[in-house]
């Protein structure tokens, strides 16, 4: 049994931006989840100052993951230094227990230089950093992630494994789970359907959950897992069922 987080984006960008991310915390708590993933791209005036959002998270007795809007590396495999530090500052203001970044376009030839730059910039950092297989061609490649973690050689960095992003990048989930499993510290859970030929996140059915369960032995037993598929803000009981189903993955 592992803790379940819920991404605020699961309730839809329009609702979250209209009410602020604090507006979904009660739903998350009442559904039995243990934490919230705050999305930087959804921050609005309703969320400011961040000290107020932090207080709301603490009052709901929820853990917090802060999801940065900008990936670690840009299209030239350069570190997005300013955006990274801004996200770290916001995560600290929120009292987050973890911060998550997409890897971005770090090419295979640039891994050693990228790792060196990352370690130099974060030499004094203590907040655990979770690097996600994102929806970019390099950032979704489990081979690049595995090589980066070898080059980093630090427990400060872990992997966020998104179970659906491979549909955008044509990378195999089973391969990603086997190659990155020991590094996984956080799992993004979403199934994927196709609409007009394009992948779209959706809730998992029995087959998807069975597939995930078959891969779970690669991960630490109690790894936190997050709902990143669409939820109905008006149906707490449905969310609670999803929470219980994900909690039991092991």
The per-residue pLDDT for range 39-51, each reduced to its tens digit, is: 999 999 999 999 9
Number of other CB atoms surrounding residue 60 within 10 Å = 18
The architecture in CATH of the region 4-247 reads Alpha-Beta Barrel (3.20)
170: Cβ contacts below 8 Å, ≥ 6 apart: none
Residue closest to 169 by CA, chosen among 137, 122, 206, 201: 137
Strands 225-227 and 4-7: parallel
The per-residue pLDDT for range 103-130, each reduced to its tens digit, is: 999 999 999 999 999 999 999 999 999 9
- Tell me if 43 sits within 8 A of 12, measured CB to CB: no
pLDDT at residue 159, rounded to an integer: 99
- φ/ψ of 217, rounded to 5, equals -65, -15
Tokens of 84: 């990274």
Q: DSSP class of residue 193?
A: E
pLDDT at residue 70, rounded to an integer: 98
88: Cβ contacts below 8 Å, ≥ 6 apart: 99, 125, 127
For the cut 90, the answer to whether the pLDDT of residue 137 exceeds it is yes
Q: State whether residue 110 is helix, strand or coil.
A: helix
Rounded distance between C-alpha atoms, residue 65 and residue 96, angstroms: 6
Domain assignments of the chain as residue spans, ordered by start: 4-247
pLDDT at residue 250, rounded to an integer: 83
* Predicted confidence band of residue 183 (pLDDT cuts 50, 70, 90): very high
pLDDT averaged over every residue in the chain: 97
Tokens of 126: 């203590």
């Amino acid at each position: 049994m592992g803790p379940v987080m819920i991404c605020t984006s699961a309730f839809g960008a329009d609702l979250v931006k209209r009410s602020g991310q604090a507006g979904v915390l009660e739903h998350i708590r009442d559904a039995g989840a243990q934490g919230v993933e705050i999305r930087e791209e959804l921050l609005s005036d309703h969320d400011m100052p961040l000290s107020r959002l932090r207080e709301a998270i603490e009052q709901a007795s929820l853990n917090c993951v802060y999801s940065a809007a900008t990936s670690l590396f840009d299209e030239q495999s350069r570190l997005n230094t300013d955006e990274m530090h801004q996200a770290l500052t916001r995560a600290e203001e929120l009292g987050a227990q973890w911060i998550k970044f997409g890897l971005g376009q770090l090419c295979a030839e640039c891994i050693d230089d990228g790792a060196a730059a990352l370690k130099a910039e974060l030499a004094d950092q203590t907040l655990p950093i979770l690097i996600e297989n994102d929806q970019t061609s390099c950032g979704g490649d489990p081979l690049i992630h595995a090589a980066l973690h070898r080059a980093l050689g630090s427990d400060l960095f872990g992997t966020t494994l998104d179970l659906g992003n491979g549909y955008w990048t044509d990378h195999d989930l089973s391969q990603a789970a086997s190659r990155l499993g020991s590094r996984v510290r956080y799992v993004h859970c979403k199934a994927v359907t196709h609409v007009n030929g394009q992948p779209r996140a959706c809730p998992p059915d029995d087959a998807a959950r069975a597939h995930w369960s078959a891969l779970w032995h690669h991960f630490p037993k109690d790894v936190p897992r997050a709902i990143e598929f669409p939820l109905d803000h008006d149906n707490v009981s449905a969310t609670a069922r999803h929470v219980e189903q994900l909690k039991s993955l092991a």
